[in-house]
């Protein structure tokens, strides 16, 4: 019978106390694993892999709010930009892609965020392989018609939607206002572990055709006049053809009882269109690799001084969020879990040390049968190691089990997509730390056993 076998039998004799002390270690390890996996999920979300945009152009306001609403869809948009402004960015020679984004609505089923955009959205890198026309389309096709849509993997899974499914949208997140129009799912995205998994992308043309998505004429004229510092007359002159067209059909349909004439008479005029933000990817010149970066930095500085809009770097904003918010929370949680494991180690020490007085006769008998002082001390250390290692293994199973079970609830509440069976290499470093802790908490009881007098122990 080897020393570890003897230590294991000793642990079994004190089954309840041993289980509780080992459980305390398991809880500490489980919490640490949960923190590591959640931190990896958040770090992946707030990292450059989550976006392939050089800039996000949006209305003046908070840069953080613009990124959270445009990229992560966890903040509502505040204001919009004129369609004319988007067209100007699209025409710039330094811009490879200028992608319009319209936000605000949600699906009637599941309350998933709606993004009105163009097929170019799926051609930009978005943190995946640059150059592929459709980096993560799992099945189906891109939305070509006005009432076509592409859905994320989580939307498909939770709502049970597939290619051919139809759905309605809630206007601006207002439960009482459901649009009558039906969109049809034409494609399903593969899992990306990004906010795209929980997003429904609809054709921007169809988005504009929904009731309430076209800006009223007078408001549109006033907004554009203010945005460009022009007079109302100048704006009306610029769009006189559209205004005449709208006036003609409004008069024609007034007698027929129609409220939204343009729904039946072609696309929404540019004057009535607006976008929440613009995703910009600068052109890359291999001969001048810093040219695109210079363009981005210059644009951000120019817009910061102007009055029309703001340009933000999503990577910088996300880095700030990670550093100032997520990083501090992670540090606090890691310190907390470290303290929990340390307290668990103290609990093991107290448990073994308190048992020494009850085991003096047992130790005396082992010594009388020929066991050396070193052997007795090794058995006590083995008990400490077995309790800590058992707690570590139990913590591994418990931590990953909690993540696997809790991931759907976290995703439903926060939109954070978590890999249920992910593994962090840092977890391996916990094992040697546990061994060191087990050795430290076992030394004092082991020395007590080492110094036990055989005659005194047998007499006791």
**pLDDT tens digit sequence for 292-350:** 788 888 988 888 888 889 999 887 887 777 777 666 777 777 787 778 777 777 777 77
Most confident of 26-30, 43-47, 374-378: 26-30
At 103 the pLDDT is 93
Query: What is the reported pLDDT for 38?
Result: 78
Q: ∠ CA(452), CA(458), CA(459), 5° rounding?
A: 110
Position 127 scores a pLDDT of: 41
The mean-pLDDT minimum among 146-150, 244-248, 352-356 falls in 352-356
Q: Which of 48-52, 141-145, 313-317 has the lowest mean pLDDT?
A: 48-52
The DSSP code sequence of 102-157 is B---EETTT-PBEEEE-GGGGGS-TTS-TT-SSTTEEEE----STTEEEE-HHHHH
pTM of the model: 0.70
pLDDT of residue 129: 36
Q: Does residue 157 contact residue 109 with C-beta atoms inside 8 Å?
A: no
Report the pLDDT value the prediction gives residue 403, as an integer from 0 to 100: 84
- At 108-129, the pLDDT tens digits run 998 899 999 999 888 775 543 3
Most confident residue range from 92-96, 250-254, 256-260: 92-96
Q: How far apart are CA 54 and CA 50, in angstroms?
A: 12
| HEC secondary structure over 15-46 | HHHHHHHHHHHHHHHHHHHHHHHHHHHHHHHC
Who's near 337: CB < 8 A, 6+ residues apart? 28, 31, 32, 35
279: Cβ–Cβ under 8 A, 6 or more apart, which residues? Answer: 53, 55, 56, 70, 97, 98, 99, 101, 121, 124
What are the tens digits of pLDDT across the range 312-324? 988 788 777 777 7
Neighbour-count burial of 179, counting CB atoms closer than 10 A to its CB (0-12 exposed, 13-18 middle, 19+ buried): middle
Q: How far apart are the first and last CA of the chain?
A: 26
Domain ranges of the chain: 3-46+319-459, 49-314
134 has pLDDT over 50: no
- Count the neighbouring beta carbons within 10 Å of the beta carbon of residue 361: 13
Place 454 in a pLDDT band, splitting at 50, 70 and 90: low
427 pLDDT above the threshold of 50: yes
DSSP string, 407-444: HHHHHHHH-----TT---THHHHHHHHHHHHHHHHHHH
Higher pLDDT, 165 or 52: 165
Q: Match 């040219």 to its residue by tokens.
A: 291
Quick check: 138 pLDDT over 60? yes
Q: How far is CA 159 from CA 152, 194, 197, 328, 427, in A?
A: 11, 18, 12, 36, 35
In whole angstroms, give the CA distance from residue 342 to residue 25. Answer: 9
How far from 373 is each of 212, 228, 270, CA to CA, in Å?
86, 90, 90
Does residue 135 carry a pLDDT above 90? no
CB 418 within 8 A of CB 41: yes
Average pLDDT over residues 35-49: 68
Q: Who has greater pLDDT, 267 or 105?
A: 105
Q: What is the pLDDT of residues 363-417, one digit of tens each?
A: 666 666 666 667 777 777 887 888 888 888 998 899 888 888 887 777 666 656 6
Query: For residue 102, what pLDDT is reported?
Result: 94
- Residue 14 pLDDT > 80: no
Mean pLDDT of 36-48: 69
The whole-number pLDDT of residue 258 equals 42
pLDDT of res. 437: 79
pLDDT band for position 90 (cuts 50, 70, 90): very high
* pLDDT higher at 224 or 261: 224
Eight-class DSSP state of 264: T
Tell whether the torsion through CA atoms of 44, 48, 53 and 56 is positive or negative.
positive
Compute the average pLDDT of residues 34-57. Answer: 72
């Amino acid at each position: 019978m080897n020393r570890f076998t003897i230590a294991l039998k000793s642990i079994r004799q004190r089954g309840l106390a041993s289980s509780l002390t080992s459980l305390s270690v398991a809880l500490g390890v489980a919490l640490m694993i949960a923190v590591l996996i959640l931190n990896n999920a958040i770090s992946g979300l707030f990292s450059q892999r989550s976006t392939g945009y050089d800039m996000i152009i949006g209305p003046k306001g908070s840069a953080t709010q613009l990124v959270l609403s445009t990229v992560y869809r966890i903040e509502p948009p505040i204001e919009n930009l004129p369609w004319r402004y988007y067209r100007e960015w699209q025409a710039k020679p330094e811009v490879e892609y200028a992608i319009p984004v319209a936000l605000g609505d949600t699906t009637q089923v599941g309350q998933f965020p709606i993004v009105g955009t163009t097929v170019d959205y799926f051609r930009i890198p978005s943190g995946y392989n640059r150059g592929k026309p459709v980096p993560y389309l799992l099945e189906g096709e891109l939305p070509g018609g006005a009432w076509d849509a592409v859905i994320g993997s989580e939307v498909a899974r939770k709502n049970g939607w597939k290619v051919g499914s139809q759905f309605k949208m809630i206007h601006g997140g207002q439960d009482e206002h459901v649009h009558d129009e039906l969109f049809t799912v034409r494609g399903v995205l593969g899992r990306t572990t990004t906010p795209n998994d929980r997003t429904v992308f609809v054709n921007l043309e169809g988005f504009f055709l929904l009731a309430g998505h076209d800006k009223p004429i007078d408001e549109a004229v006033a907004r554009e006049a203010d945005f460009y510092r022009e007079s109302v007359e100048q704006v009306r002159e610029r769009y006189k053809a559209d205004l005449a067209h709208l006036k003609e059909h409004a008069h024609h349909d007034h007698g027929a009882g129609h409220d939204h004439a343009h729904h039946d008479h072609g696309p929404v005029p540019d004057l009535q269109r607006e976008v929440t933000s613009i995703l910009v990817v600068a052109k890359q010149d291999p001969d001048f690799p810093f040219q695109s970066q210079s363009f981005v930095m210059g644009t951000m500085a120019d817009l910061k001084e102007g009055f029309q809009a703001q340009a933000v770097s999503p990577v910088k904003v996300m880095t700030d969020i990670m550093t100032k918010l997520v990083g501090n929370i992670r540090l606090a949680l890691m310190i907390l879990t470290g303290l929990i494991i340390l307290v668990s180690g103290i609990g093991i020490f107290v448990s073994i040390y308190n048992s020494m007085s009850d085991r003096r006769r047992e130790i005396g008998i082992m010594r009388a049968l020929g066991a050396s002082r070193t052997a007795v001390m090794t058995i006590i250390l083995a008990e400490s190691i077995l309790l800590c290692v058992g707690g570590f293994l139990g913590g591994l199973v418990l931590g990953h089990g909690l993540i696997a079970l809790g991931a759907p609830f976290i995703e439903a509440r926060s939109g954070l997509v978590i890999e249920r069976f992910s593994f962090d290499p840092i977890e391996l470093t916990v094992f040697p730390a546990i061994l060191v802790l087990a050795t430290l908490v076992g030394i004092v009881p082991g020395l007590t056993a080492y110094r036990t007098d055989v005659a005194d122990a047998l007499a006791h």
